[in-house]
Amino acid sequence: MSELTNIERNYNPFPIYRKMRQEHPVYFDPQRGSWNIFRYEDVDRVLSDYEVFSSHFRRQVGTNSNQPFSASLISSDPPRHRQLRSLVTQAFTPRSVEQLAPRIQTIVDEHLDQVMAAGEMDVVRDLSYPLPVIVIAELLGIPAEDRERFKHWSDIVVGAADFGGNIDYQAFNNQAVMEMSAYFMSMIEQRRQQPGDDLISALLAAQIEGERLSEIELLGFCALLLVAGNETTTNLLVNAMYTFSEHPETWQRLRAKPALLPDAIEEVLRYRSPVQAMFRFSTKEVTLQDQVIPANSPLIAWIGSANHDEAQFQQAERFIIDRSPNKHLAFGKGIHYCLGAPLARLEAKLALGSMLQRFASLERKSQDGLQRPPSLIVYGLRSLPVRFMRA
């Protein structure tokens, strides 16, 4: 079906989603060899029911013991998933995330200070790209000179699901990812010998009933945090700024009533979800919307479609900053709900809040076409030049 090929090419895939929800809510795509799930109730189930819809990464990439994502939270099922999450949560607590607020605010201020005199900026280049890279690097205790390598590795991983509709699982075994693995293994060994005040040291110390994370599991979490921590926040921020530029009345309303910002962020997460799709494998034959899905079948759960499902959200195609309820699936659902969601929300709140204080008005510099990153999964913009009036 040609419409599916256009989803990841288009910054406005939502009309395609609507057509698929109405006509082909569960659709087998012979090009990808995967089942595509579009309605909210079905996406919710695929993300939640781990016994039927597995996240096990080794089903996709094989059993390479040095593959970082094969042992990460996002790629495991219970019972090991519960143990991993419990261990990681000891080091990556909501309180520890909240304590990052002063440092995040400093980073935001430093970057905004550099663009104020010009009255214009590229949201991606000047803020939404560097902010999460710096935060994640500092969390892990990574030297500043290595940040560009971080972004390169992250781009390789998210690009494994490409515009051609091919999910290239072997891309996870390429040279760049092996370099990333070697880099993190070296950092883990350094922290084992000389613990510091960083997340890797805290993860090495975490234990439950005498059990600790294995080396490959530590590597998996570092790799996952690098990719998810960068991409989610980068694209949440740029999607928010683009949406606000489309709705100037929203910008003024948020300036007048900053308390609405957390709700506005949740609506951006629903309206333009930074992650549009997640992958699963069926562990047994299962029926969705009268379609029989065989065992061991790959599935794509279209979060971006589910978050626009009219059966779940009234006026789903409208951006409503105080929408309530707003049970979006932007951060997943169930046991795989994104562990980094509090960090992404905090970075977005501080960055957007600062721009609302500093910018009296906002508009796009150009109405030229919008370019998405080359990924089936990630949804954002490569660039967003804007003009602003100083407050």
pLDDT value at residue 205: 86
pLDDT digits (tens, 9 = 90+) for 46-71: 999 999 999 875 444 444 445 555 55
Place of tokens 């710096």: 134
DSSP alpha helix (H) spans, 159-259: 175-193, 199-205, 215-246, 248-256
Q: Give the model's pLDDT for residue 59.
A: 44
Instruction: Work out whether the CA dihedral 108, 110, 113, 115 comes out positive or negative.
Output: negative
Give the model's pLDDT for residue 354.
Answer: 98
Share of the chain above pLDDT 70, in %: 86
Give pLDDT, residue 24: 96
Where is average pLDDT lowest: 3-17, 31-45, 243-257? Answer: 3-17
In angstroms, rounded to a whole number, what is the distance separating the alpha carbons of residues 246 and 224?
A: 32
Give me the pLDDT at residue 377, please: 84
pLDDT at 13 > cutoff 50: yes
Domains contained in the chain, CATH given: 2-390 (1.10.630.10)
| SS3 assignment, position 286 | strand
pLDDT at 98 over 80: yes
In one letter, which amino acid is 56? Answer: H
Beta partners for residue 278, in sequence order: 301
**Are residues 335 and 85 in contact, defined by beta-carbon separation less than 8 angstroms?**
yes
Q: Which has more pLDDT, 317 or 335?
A: 317
> How many angstroms separate the Cα of 328 from the Cα of each of 64, 137, 235, 307?
35, 29, 16, 6
Are 72 and 64 in contact by the 8 Å Cβ rule? The answer is: no
